[in-house]
Amino acid sequence: KSTTRDWLHKVDGAVIVYSVTDRNSFDIAEVVMDWLKKEKKPNQVIPMVLVGNKCDLEHSRTVPKQPQDGQEWRTDGYMVTECSASANTESIRRVFHELIRKISEKKDATTKGHRKLSHAPVGSPKLIRASLRRRFSVFTRERTSTM
């Protein structure tokens, strides 16, 4: 358990995903979020995104839509959104872009005044897009049929 806490204190952010077609996955996601909030250091802010996946399967939905507050970050450091990994990869990029932006803001706030940068800041949109393209190039690959 202490190893898990040590790991948690090094976390910059978290994406917690549940299926809107599986109530049990939502319940587990809530437990994970509560655990992260409870176990973090008192002054530690961990940006978290709670993502409902499979929102394109409205006919199979078992989890009611979560209030999303217009994709805004809540005061306790988390955001709620829904997306579809199969129908719209842009929504997935947006989730990671928002999380990286929030992490960058947090890091910029803690290192502000230490030194002056001569290049684009870590959280600049151009660098974030380049980082996302490199790290998540799997989303731009062609899908192969499984049927």
For the chain, which domains are there? Answer: 2-140 (3.40.50.300)
Tell me, what's the pLDDT at 119?
55
- What does the pLDDT look like over 91-134, one tens digit per residue? 888 888 888 888 888 777 766 655 555 555 556 777 777 777 77
CB count in 10 Å sphere of residue 141: 7
- Of the candidates 24, 73, 26, 67, the residue with the CA atom closest to the CA atom of residue 48: 73
pTM recorded for the entire structure: 0.66
Tell me, what's the pLDDT at 24?
94
Rg (CA), the chain: 17
Tell me, what's the pLDDT at 110?
66
Q: What is the pLDDT along the chain (147 residues), one digit of tens a residue?
A: 566 667 777 788 889 999 999 999 999 999 998 888 888 777 778 888 888 888 888 888 888 887 655 556 666 678 888 888 887 778 888 888 888 888 888 777 766 655 555 555 556 777 777 777 776 665 555 555 554
Q: Please name the residue that has the structure tokens 């976390």.
A: 11
Residue 102: C-alpha distances to residues 35, 61, 138 (Å) = 20, 30, 23
Tell me, what's the pLDDT at 39?
81
Residue 6: C-alpha distances to residues 2, 10, 66, 78, 82 (Å) = 6, 7, 31, 21, 30
Tell me, what's the pLDDT at 25?
93
Tell me, what's the pLDDT at 115?
54
